[in-house]
Chain A
Amino acid sequence: MYLDEAWRILVANRIRSLLTILGLIIGVGAVVAIQVLGTSMAGAVNGALGTFADNTFIIFPDATQRNVRQAAIRLSDLPALRAIPGIQDALPIEQFQDLVRVGHNVARERIGAEGAIPFNNLPAIYGRIISSSDVALATDVCVLPYDAYTHLFPQGGDPTGQSIYVGPHRYLIVGVLSKPKQGFLNANFGGGGISIPWTTYVRNYIRGDSIFAARFVTADASDIPALELAVIAKLRALRGGAQGLAYQMFDKSQVTGSINGIFNAITLVVGLIGAVSLLVAGIGIMNIMLVSVAERTREIGVRKAIGARRAQILWQFFIEALLLCSSGCMIGMLIGLAIGGFVNAAFIVRLTGTTVAIPFAQAFGIAAGFAVIVTLAFGTYPAYRAARLDPIEALRYE
């Protein structure tokens, strides 16, 4: 009864109702859209980086510094770096491209150095990955990534036991990795090519001492920030205490952290915009409810004359405000979900290759929460005014 009367009033004044809730629609729409994007972005980042091992980090010299040559990491540094407490392994990151041949098939592929603890946690669909004895013995074996496998074995089938030829070198295929997710975050250095044991790579391909970058494996992922600093300090010490040498680091939590940081900032700004627009919308709703109470003074008088108690009048206008606010918030939620869903599908999924479920429950929670808060904050006073009217004066009102 209260609800269908409220609905009748709102529909009878549909233009006014729509204009009144416009602010709510925009405010809730913005907040819900950013919520959807934030959730899917965070999910996408985690999904894309999911295969990058947690307990590993990379150090490389800053290429913009004046003494790049002096800063370069050297193979001969690795034993000292491996000796830092907490570091389990240190290995070079190096790769090159060359023609790779299997039987009559030839393809241009990347060949990279790999350790027993891989850069990417991709499972093998055939055979195995590089083992620690491969590294220890510098065996001539290789593991194919999925794309190289499809180039070299278009007919499919288990290729383990066959060999690939790269220039004068021959490598026994011991495994094939599963297909990685497609996305910009997977375009990482060191990963993605045909892997050979890094010791084999050093023997066959590295002529000098300096290497592109070094990768470190730690016992515990939470030690990474401290160990990164320890490694850089050690490198500077090895260069005779040259404090000016600049190094950069890369690890999973750093990437997720910086992307999440950007999103948190955006969320904060949009949240503030949303809060301001909700405040403005709330004032608009209060204004229109006061107008409505004034217009219907006589009706309120009649209702009181025929026996409506204060609480019943209060409730009627409160329900009307609630209906107004919830329609605004629900429309805003749908628009927010549509915008968020579209941007998610059109950009985030395409860029990162990760699909994240749209957070419907959260969006509904935001919309319902705003509806209740705005109603309570801005609908209570007009309803109270209506309930408090003197029936005689109200009946006399023209």
Chain B
Amino acid sequence: MNNGSTQSSAAIVFERITKTYKNGTLEVPVLHGIDLVVKHGEYVAIMGPSGSGKSTMMNIIGCLDRATSGSYHLDGEDVSDLDDNALAAIRLRKLGFIFQGFNLLARTDAIKNVSLPLFYAGIGTKERERRAVAALDEVGLGDRAHHKPNELSGGQQQRVAIARALINDPAVLLADEPTGNLDTKTSADIMALFDKLHEQGRTIIMVTHDEEVASQARRIIRLRDGLIVADEQASPTTAG
């Protein structure tokens, strides 16, 4: 066991996390016992070929799934054995998701999309709008507040999605191939935004196939066959 201060100061602490899927009587082990500590303010890329277990790991980090064994502390809170509704509450308070396909609600303007988590948190309309406008300003889309997804470019949609992920001031920002649907130029813009968020002290965990994208992160974790095979600090230029 690590000492308590490490757990409470870290954003993510995995201790011997395993995940085994049951397919009828057949048991398919995906994660074989992962130990991992991500401190607050780190910018981590998780890489690995398909089947390496990185999606499963992302789902467990994102509290969408539970580990089969091992313990998981998120922002000092033990979330290993919570039920579905408690996990939903954790996602609402502590996590922000950014998806490859943006996943905005169609026919719904940027403000409403961005403020959706606040609606689920039970915050009133006025306060939701105020904070949504602020979050859109932060990602440089203050002037697109009333545009609907189909009136926005791919890069702009991803910025709206990032604003949505930021609105509840999450402990960890989770991005799953955030530039996978974007062209090179727009990808660079989005990566610059991630850099800016990192500099502001956000904890970012990103799953990607793309070495170039991953190289923007300060730490790269490589998975293979359900185990961490490499964990490297990318460049010494920025402290974590």
- A residues with a Cβ closer than 8 A to B are 1, 5, 8, 12, 298-299, 301-312, 391-392, 395
Cβ of B89 under 8 Å from chain A: yes
Scan B88-106; emit 1 where CB is below 8 A from any A CB, else 0.
Answer: 1101110111010001010
84-123 of chain B: CB within 8 A of chain A: 84-85, 88-89, 91-93, 95-97, 99, 103, 105, 107-108, 116-117, 119-121
> B64 in the interface, Cβ–Cβ < 8 Å?
yes
Interface size on B, residues (CB 8 A): 28
Q: Please give the distance in Å from B154's CB to the nearest CB on chain A.
A: 17
Contact of A307 among B99, B120, B125 (CB under 8 A): B120
Q: Are A302 and B103 in contact (CB under 8 A)?
A: yes
B64 touches A309 (CB 8 A): no
B117–A391 CB distance below 8 A: no
Number of A-B contacts (CB under 8 A): 61
Contacting residues of chain B (59-78) with chain A, CB-CB under 8 angstroms: 59, 62, 64-65
Q: Is B164 at the interface (CB under 8 A from chain A)?
A: yes
Contacts of B168 in A (CB 8 A): 307
Q: How far is the CA of A310 from the CA of B97 in the complex (A)?
A: 18
Please name the residue on chain B nearest to A298 by beta carbon. Answer: B103
* 14 additional A-B residue pairs with CB within 8 Å, beyond A306-B97, A309-B88: A299-B103, A304-B64, A305-B64, A306-B92, A306-B96, A306-B117, A306-B164, A307-B88, A307-B89, A307-B121, A308-B120, A310-B84, A392-B64, A395-B103
Q: Point out the residue from A12, A298, A302, A305 that lies within 8 Å of B107, measured CB to CB.
A: A12
* Sample (13) of A-B pairs whose CB atoms are under 8 Å apart: A1-B119, A8-B107, A303-B116, A304-B64, A306-B96, A306-B116, A307-B89, A307-B93, A307-B95, A307-B117, A307-B168, A310-B84, A392-B65
Most buried by A among B59, B64, B99, B107: B64
Taking chain A's interface residues, is the majority helix, strand, or loop, or is none over half, making it mixed?
Answer: helix
**Shortest distance between the CB of A384 and any CB in chain B (Å):** 14
In the bound complex, CA of A298 to CA of B85 (Å):
19
- How far does the Cβ of B122 sit from chain A's closest Cβ, in whole Å? 10
Residues of A within 8 A of B62 (CB): 305
- Whether A309 lies near B85 (C-beta < 8 A) is yes
Q: How far is the CA of A312 from the CA of B88 in the complex (A)?
A: 11
Q: How far is the CB of A6 from chain B (nearest CB, A)?
A: 12
A8 to B93, CA, bound (A): 28
Chain B nearest CB: distance from A44 CB in Å? 51
Q: Which of B59, B84, B88, B99 makes the CB contact (< 8 A) with A302?
A: B99
Candidates A5, A299, A301, A306; contact of B120 at CB < 8 Å:
A306
A304 partner residues in chain B, CB cutoff 8 A: 64, 88, 91
Question: Which of A307, A309, A310, A392 has the largest count of B CB atoms less than 10 A from its CB?
Answer: A307
CB-CB < 8 A to A392: which residues of B? 59, 64-65
| Chain B minimum-CB-distance residue to A5 | B108
Nearest residue in B to A301 (C-beta to C-beta)?
B103
Report the minimal beta-carbon distance from B58 to chain A, rounded to whole angstroms: 10
B residues less than 8 Å from A391 (CB atoms) = 64
Contact of A310 among B85, B103, B119 (CB under 8 A): B85
Could you tell me if A305 and B91 are in contact, using CB atoms closer than 8 angstroms? yes
A302 contacts across to B, CB distance below 8 A = 97, 99, 103, 105
Residue of B nearest to A8 (CB): B107
Closest residue of chain B to A9, judged by CB? B107
Complex Cα spacing A307 to B108, Å: 18
A152 vs chain B, min Cβ distance (A): 76
**In the complex, A305→B95 CA distance in Å?**
9
Given the known interface contacts A8-B108, A306-B164, the answer about A395 and B84 at a Cβ–Cβ threshold of 8 Å is no
Contacts of B96 in A (CB 8 A): 306
Q: Is the CB of B91 within 8 A of A307?
A: yes
Alpha-carbon separation in the docked complex, A298 to B104 (Å)? 10
Whether the pair A305, B97 counts as a contact (CB closer than 8 A) is yes
Interfacial chain A residues near B103, Cβ < 8 Å:
298-299, 301-302, 395
Within the complex, which residue of A1, A8, A12, A395 is in contact with B99, where a contact is CB–CB below 8 Å? A395
Residues of A contacting B99 in the complex (Cβ-Cβ under 8 angstroms)? 302, 395
Nearest first, the 8 A-B pairs at minimum CB distance are A307-B92, A302-B103, A307-B91, A309-B88, A306-B117, A305-B97, A308-B120, A391-B64
Residues of A within 8 A of B116 (CB): 303, 306
Q: Which of A302, A306, A391 has the most CB of B within 10 A?
A: A306
Chain A residues whose C-beta falls within 8 Å of the C-beta of B65 in the assembled complex: 392
**Residue from the set A299, A302, A392 with the largest chain B CB neighbour count within 10 Å:** A302
Using known A-B contacts A391-B64, A392-B64, A392-B65, determine if residue A309 contacts B107 with beta carbons closer than 8 Å.
no
What residues on B are CB-neighbors of A12 within 8 Å? 107
State the CA gap A309–B120 with chains docked (Å): 8
Q: B residues within 8 A CB of A307?
A: 88-89, 91-93, 95, 117, 120-121, 168
* Of B62, B120, B168, most A-chain CB atoms within 10 Å: B120
How far does the Cβ of B180 sit from chain A's closest Cβ, in whole Å? 14
Bound: A311/B122 CA distance, A: 13
**Chain B residue contacts of A309, Cβ below 8 A:** 85, 88-89, 120
Given the contacts A303-B116, A391-B64, A395-B99, A308 and B107 also touching, CB distance less than 8 Å: no
CA distance in complex: A157, B117 (Å): 83
Q: Could you say which of A301, A310, A312, A391 has the most chain B C-beta atoms within 10 Å of its C-beta?
A: A391
